[in-house]
Amino acid sequence: MKGTYKGALRLPLFIGAHALWWIGLAMSLVVSFFSHWFGVFAYSDPCVGEGCTSYFNMDASQFEGMARYGISSDLYAAFTVILLAIQNLSSWAVGFLLYRYGWRDLYCVTASLLLIVTGTIFSSDDALFANYPALTQMFFVLNSFGSMYIFFLFLFPEGRSYQDGRRFRPLSG
């Protein structure tokens, strides 16, 4: 009975996990592209008062301080977007490698998706999506799912998977 139940759920879980992976990747690509694209223009202009909603926005006095060191606002915007894109691409690369070589393992597919999603939410600036409700919703979905990566780490105490009840030992103290 137990083996039949496991077999009956295995295929739907497998198909569902892979469908979620591709949906998550597509959402991640869209959110990342627009975040980096909007960032190129938003980070080079000084913000004023309530317009300074992002950690990466600077006001005029901060840009003047950087200009004293020879860093223009366009150079700052370019470097910021490039560094965020590198961070994003590295998460995608590791996530894709996990998916490529572990596509048969549900935990590996989940870890891959969590890497892709957390790499996107940590390198995207959601403040840039204020006028774009669809992007805001996609970011919210990615952020909600990506926040589970902490709980996912508890499934692997001491860096490996346990098939018995010892899996949740870190939760008990």
pLDDT at 106: 84
- Three-state SS for 156? coil
Residues with Cβ within 8 Å of residue 149, at least 6 apart in sequence? 114, 117, 118
pTM (2 decimals)?
Answer: 0.80
Residue-level pLDDT, tens digit, the chain, 173 residues: 343 346 677 888 889 999 999 999 999 999 999 999 999 999 999 988 887 888 898 999 999 999 999 999 999 999 999 999 999 999 999 999 999 998 888 888 988 999 999 999 999 998 899 899 999 999 999 999 988 887 777 766 566 655 555 555 555 55
Select from 120, 34, 43, 126 the least CA-distant residue to 79: 43
pLDDT at 157: 59
Ranges of each domain in the chain: 23-47+54-157
pLDDT at 119: 93
CB atoms near residue 107 (< 10 Å) = 14
CB atoms near residue 72 (< 10 Å) = 12
Q: Are 18 and 99 in contact (CB under 8 A)?
A: no
pLDDT at 129: 92
